[in-house]
Amino acid sequence: MCTLRSYPLLPRRHPVSSRDSEGTMTTAARAPVRAPGLRVIRGEGQRREEPLASRDAVARVLMEAGADMLLRRISPARAQEIERKVDRVLDLFDRVDVAPVLMPVLKRHLDELEALMRETREVRAARR
């Protein structure tokens, strides 16, 4: 049986003491500071297709594929193919940092990944 008492207590927030312009101590009650967390982004329900131009964008593709697989919108085989291509692209990003001459190869793989994701999104939309 789980009770609320089994959870650790969070520290209480106390008023903050500070010195005013005259050097005397003052106590000001401040509103509790929120820890960084999730925030809502207004998007009007429309998803914006993001070009794959950065490592972050490619990582988001991998997360999207994982979520789609868990929700059974795509097959595990398709998710595995996306993961394989994402790994290759992320490796190429690292290699381009060292040898910029590989940029055309990275661009080609990014285009292939974008085409695969476009096809995946079409398949996913058809299943709905």
Note the pTM of the prediction, 2 decimals. Answer: 0.60
Paired tokens of 122: 């079409």
Are residues 32 and 26 in contact, defined by beta-carbon separation less than 8 angstroms?
no
Distance between CA 126 and CA 120 in Å, rounded?
Answer: 10
DSSP tag of 42: -
Q: Walk along the chain (128 residues) and give the pLDDT tens digit of each residue.
A: 444 455 555 555 555 555 555 665 555 555 556 667 888 777 666 666 778 888 999 999 999 999 999 988 888 999 999 999 999 999 999 999 999 999 999 999 999 999 999 888 887 666 66
Residue spans of alpha helices (H) in the chain: 55-70, 76-98, 103-127
